[in-house]
Structures are given as C-alpha cells and as structure tokens.
Chains A and B, each alone.
Chain A
C-alpha cells in the first residue's frame, strides 16, 4: 500500500508542479464548456436577433390587374417600419446593382417583382441569406393568402401550426437545456483525454527512456505502479467532474444529480473503458512518438463522432460506422439519459453492453501485448 501511495503522490506532485498540465486538465474543459454553451446554446436567439438586409426591385407594372409590386412594397415597408430589428429594406437600385450587393454580402436577399412573379434571390451556401430567403417566402405566401381574402376569393380558417419540443426523459420533465446537454459531454471529453492523452504519452516516454525498467529494479511491483497511476487518474477525474459540474451550476444554472447510482455507474464505466483503450495504445505503439500519433488519431474521431458536442445519429454511412462502433456514443447516451438530460437514442442495453464488450476486448489485447520494457 505504501508503494501505491508513493506512486500516487509522485504523479500528483508532478501534476501540481506543472501549471500547464493543471491548465489543460482543469481549466481548459471549463473554457470549452463556456464557449460551446455560449455559441450553440444561444443559436436560436442569435438568429432571431439577426437583421436581414433586403433589396427590393420593382419592374414597371403594365396594364390592369392587381398591382402586386405595390402590395409587396407596402407590406415589406410596413414590416421594416414596424420592426427595423428584423428587416432593413433597400429600394431604388437596379436589379444588377442589388445582385452585385448580394454577391458582395451587403444584402441577405433581393426580391424582384415583375407582374405576378416574385423572385427571392439568395446567396447559395451563405446560411443567413438562405434563412432570409425562407423567411421572405413565408411572408410572401402569407401575403398571397391575404390578397386572396381581400378579393373575396377564399374564406374559412387556415391551418394552425403548433410547435412542440419533445421533453427530456420522464425523470426530468423540464424543457431542454443545452448547458445540461453539454456538461455530460465535457465530462466524457476529460475522461477520453485521461484515457488517451498525456498518461499514454507519459507511460510511453518513461518506457522508451528506460525509466520504468529502473523503477522496477526497486522493490516497487508492476501492479503497485499501475494501481498508483489508476488512483491518481481517479482522483483527477473526481476533481475534474466536480469543477465541470460547479461551472455548469454557477454559470448556467444546471443542477445534475451526478451522485445518483445510474450516472455514477456510467461515469465509472466510461473511465474504465477509456483507460483500457489507452492500455491497448501503449501496448501496440512501440515508441512514444507512435503512441502520441495513434492516440491523437483516435481521440478526435472518438470525440466528435461520439456525440459529445452534437447529435451524430443521423450521419450517413460510412461515417456512421464510426459512430456505431464508438463506445463513447453509448457512454454519453447512457450518461445523459441517466441524468434526465435527454432520452437516449440508443437502447439502454446497448449503452451498457457495447462499452462492456469493448472494455473486455481491449483489456484482453492490452494485457496480453503490453510490455513494460521496449
């Protein structure tokens, strides 16, 4: 036990002395949480606050019939006048000038009216321009209905649309909260980093430089060394989870019951699964450089295609194959569901079974192939 505690203390002191390790382990996850929640948590608000710059070009109205141009202009001017934070209308320029302005990014959309034809020009691939086009199309659709009504061509009620968001799991009936969605994602991100990050590299470097061989020439056993490392990772994880939870609570008002049994089970399962993967990397890579390349090559696809930051279930094949075989997908689904943040898109049995099978396989390969010496 003394040896285990000595290894643990060694790792702990070495981390505490290194301000950069402390930063990446403890502060960086909080920075990432704040950035992601600030951007994606407020996406709807940011879009709804956007002001669309719209150019209007009217071609001369010939003959009788309904003066569509004047109706469209009147409606858009009224909207721009009533709510200038939604629409800014530009008139008086030619179509060529307006389309040039659209090309330069100075307009989100250009509406051209010729007779009864109303064309909304948007800039393909520019998301805000496409949103402006869709919004204008809806406005014009409504205008068509109103003109029909005023001319007495139609009567009767229109279809009413009711939008509803599906709520979280039954244990958490409150509405969806992006910060609550992100906290479990960031927790698993730090576990993924514990499994594949600096620990793998440190083990590989120590082995390559012969430090481990020298260490094991002392009375320290390999099992004791390994237990000390695991104890350190466990302590680090407890601190990381506490900090992330505290940041979620203090900055975004997210209160999650992390100490209930189901989320605790998923967090422990995640830590074991990802550490076992780290063991395989250390076993397969012969040099520190190779271990670092392999770990980084796995880290990013597992992180982004595991659904830590955004849903990945709808991705097309073959990229979805990575999602399906990735244990992080099941771990994060299980953790979010157990916390009442989001209904798991994968079956509950799979959320437990897939990581367990993965852990079994990686431990089997890792323990068989791992060599303490190079």
Chain B
C-alpha cells in the first residue's frame, strides 16, 4: 500500500507537469463547452429570430400578417421594399429567414448554410401559415392541440443538456485512452518500466497508481466542465452524484482498456499514441458525443455500436439525468465493458513484458 501511495504521488507530480496532457484532458473540453454551448442554444427558444418581410398584400392582409407574427412572439420583423432585398439579406445572413406575403401565398426564403437553424425556421413559418389560415377562414378550434415538452422521471434536457455529458465523456476519453497507449508504452520504450521492475515495486501497485492519476484527471476535467456550466452558462443538471463519481471511474477504466487494445495492435508507443488521437476524433463524431446517434447516417450508426465511446457517452447522459435508459442495460453495458477493459489492461500491462525488447 505504501508503495502504491508513493508511486501515485510521483506519477501525479509528473502528470501535472505535462501541460499537453492537462490541455487535452482538462482545458480542451472546456473550450469545446464554451464554443458549442452558445451554438446549440443559438436556435433555441430564448433567442430572437430576425425575419425580413416583403409584402404586396393590401392593408387588411398586411395587418393580419403583423398580428400573427406578434402573436407567435420571439420574432423581430423588419419590412423591406422588394423581395430581392429580402433575398439579399438572407443570403448575407443579416436576416435569419425571409417572408414574402401577397395575401394568399407565403414565400419562405431560407439560407441553406444555416444547417442547424433551418428546421426551427421552417417550424416557425408553418406556425405563421397555420395562424393565418385560422384567422382568415375563421377556423374553429375543434381540436385543442397542445405540445407539451416534459422531462419524465425527473430528468432534464434543454438545448444544452445533451452537450454536457458529451463534453465530460471527451475529457474522460482523452485521459483514459492515452494511459496505456501513450504513458505506459513510452515508459516501456524508454526502459523506465524495466528499471522499475528491478525494484521491489509490484506491477499491480504501479498500474493502480497510473490508473489513479488518470482518474484524478477525469474528475478534475468533469468538475471544471460542471463548474463552468453552472457559473457561466447557468446549467445545473439533476446528477446522481454517487453514481456519477462511480461512473467517472468506470468510464476512465473503459477508455484505458480501449487504449490497451490499441497498444496490442500498434507496433510502437508513437504509433499507439497516434492511433489513439485519431480514434478520439472519429469517436467524437460517430459515437453520439455531441449530437444524437439518430442524426447520423445508417453506416455511422452501425459503426457506433462497436465503439466504446458510444456506451460511455450514453452512460454519462444517464447518470447526469439527460437521457433515460433501463437500469439493467446500464449495469450490464458498464460491467461488460469494465471486464473487457480490465482484461485488456491485464494482458498488456501485467502479463506483457515490461522490457521494450
């Protein structure tokens, strides 16, 4: 136990001197949070949508459109003298979308580059059309339709809800994946492990110390993300704290195991580290870390099934109260992945040679 604490302390000091590891595990997730949070929330309910309007309708129909837009709310409208002017403003992204109204047709102009917002603008336009019909035809509300957004079982979502578990998963991926694939393999190649093996230090104590340092890094990264999310973005999630801490540890272990699998394939420490770097980029896009898997093409969704980051990101969404999943699935997935990871780490770091030859 004494040797475990001693090696953990030494490894921890070494980790905190490694600015690159700290940057990728603790600072980069924060940068991503601050970049993507406003992007995700940009098209949400809180922000005003700027609409450029051109109308050739007579007084009554023009007033009707005015009234409908006022009723819908959240829209900042400006009237222009021609449809070309509206077209130009939408093209230059100086208006979010444009409307042309002649009293019977509603022309909606959208900029195709506004990929993340156009669905909202289309929805708003449909709302305007439905309201115009209601007013013009004197439609009776035979169906009182109401869309109710709920977060069942005390969970929460919101525009930014999905992002937080993803950003935390990214930090854990960085700290865990490079544990065996970079730190351990570099120490092996530089004969540090060979020298350590000549001391009374048990292999397991060393490995436990190494994993502990990465778990600490995961905890620091997650705390920073949650703190900044709360203080800067005002987001608080209904996190199951004991489970969250346990899952942070389990997720770091899972990603370390993935790193160990990479080390089994790679021929050198450098190659393992480069494969790990590429894997993070691919998993970030294909594992539903930042956006739901449902938004990915079929081939990517199939590929996501074999990537551990898919399950880690989903696990974080579950323990952070963002997404529901059956408890049994959560426990089963976590246990299986942990078992595989421990086996991979065991093969590479305990059964495998500590000598670079």
Counting CB contacts under 8 A, is A198 at the interface?
no
Asked if A345 and B158 sit within 8 Å, CB to CB, the answer is no
Counting CB contacts under 8 A, is A35 at the interface?
yes
Instruction: Give B188-212 as 1s and 0s: 1 = Cβ < 8 Å from A's Cβ atoms.
Output: 0000000000000000000000000
Q: CA A163 – CA B119 in complex, angstroms?
A: 12
Counting CB contacts under 8 A, is B144 at the interface?
yes
Asked if A293 and B20 sit within 8 Å, CB to CB, the answer is yes
Known: A134-B123, A166-B112, A176-B112. Is A43-B295 also a contact (CB below 8 A)?
A: yes
A319's partner among B34, B110, B138, B300 (CB-CB below 8 A) is: B34
Known: A305-B35, A311-B113. Is A134-B147 also a contact (CB below 8 A)?
A: yes
**A170-191 at interface with B (beta carbon < 8 Å):** 175-176, 178, 181
Q: Which of A2-10, A113-121, A215-223 contacts B (4 or more CB under 8 A)?
A: A113-121
Q: Which of B126-134, B253-261, B348-356 contacts A (4 or more CB under 8 A)?
A: B126-134
Measured between beta carbons, the chain B residues less than 8 angstroms from A155 are: 137
Asked if B122 and A128 sit within 8 Å, CB to CB, the answer is no
Q: Which of B86-94, B218-226, B305-313, B338-346 contacts A (4 or more CB under 8 A)?
A: B86-94
Counting CB contacts under 8 A, is B347 at the interface?
no
Closest B residue to A125 by beta carbon equals B157
| Cβ of B153 to closest chain A Cβ, rounded Å | 5
Counting CB contacts under 8 A, is A66 at the interface?
yes
Closest A residue to B22 by beta carbon equals A293
Q: CA A137 – CA B119 in complex, angstroms?
A: 15
Asked if A165 and B32 sit within 8 Å, CB to CB, the answer is no
Closest A residue to B34 by beta carbon equals A319
B38's partner among A36, A140, A315 (CB-CB below 8 A) is: A315
Asked if B297 and A165 sit within 8 Å, CB to CB, the answer is no
Inter-chain contact total with CB atoms closer than 8 Å: 255
| Cβ of B326 to closest chain A Cβ, rounded Å | 6
| Cβ of A48 to closest chain B Cβ, rounded Å | 11
| Cβ of A96 to closest chain B Cβ, rounded Å | 10
Known: A125-B158, A163-B122, A301-B35. Is A292-B19 also a contact (CB below 8 A)?
A: yes
| Cβ of A233 to closest chain B Cβ, rounded Å | 22
Asked if B28 and A166 sit within 8 Å, CB to CB, the answer is no
A160's partner among B34, B105, B150 (CB-CB below 8 A) is: B105
Asked if A314 and B35 sit within 8 Å, CB to CB, the answer is no
Asked if B132 and A159 sit within 8 Å, CB to CB, the answer is yes
Highest count of chain B CB atoms <10 Å: which of A24, A66, A119, A124: A124
Instruction: Give B94-110 as 1s and 0s: 1 = Cβ < 8 Å from A's Cβ atoms.
Output: 10101000001111111
Closest A residue to B291 by beta carbon equals A127
Asked if B149 and A123 sit within 8 Å, CB to CB, the answer is yes
Q: Which of B71-79, B175-183, B244-252, B274-282 contacts A (4 or more CB under 8 A)?
A: B274-282
**B57-76 at interface with A (beta carbon < 8 Å):** none
B90's partner among A20, A131, A166 (CB-CB below 8 A) is: A166
Q: CA A51 – CA B55 in complex, angstroms?
A: 38
Counting CB contacts under 8 A, is A164 at the interface?
yes
Asked if B297 and A154 sit within 8 Å, CB to CB, the answer is no
Known: A161-B126, A166-B91, A345-B94. Is A68-B152 also a contact (CB below 8 A)?
A: no
Instruction: Give B26-38 as 1s and 0s: 1 = Cβ < 8 Å from A's Cβ atoms.
Output: 0110011011101
Asked if B148 and A118 sit within 8 Å, CB to CB, the answer is no
Asked if B108 and A162 sit within 8 Å, CB to CB, the answer is yes
Q: List 10 A-B contacts (CB under 8 A).
A: A72-B143, A105-B324, A120-B146, A123-B151, A134-B147, A140-B145, A161-B108, A167-B91, A292-B19, A319-B38
Besides the known contacts A158-B133, A163-B110, 5 further A-B residue pairs in the complex with CB atoms under 8 A apart: A20-B271, A38-B297, A126-B292, A158-B137, A165-B111
The list of the 7 closest CB pairs from A to B, nearest first, reads A125-B157, A103-B152, A176-B112, A345-B93, A124-B149, A343-B91, A166-B91
A positions within 8 Å CB-CB of B: 20, 23-24, 28, 31-32, 35-36, 38-40, 42-43, 46-47, 50, 66, 68, 72, 99-100, 102-105, 116-128, 130-131, 133-134, 136-138, 140-141, 143-145, 147-148, 151, 153-167, 175-176, 178, 181, 289-290, 292-293, 296-297, 300-301, 304-305, 310-316, 319, 342-345
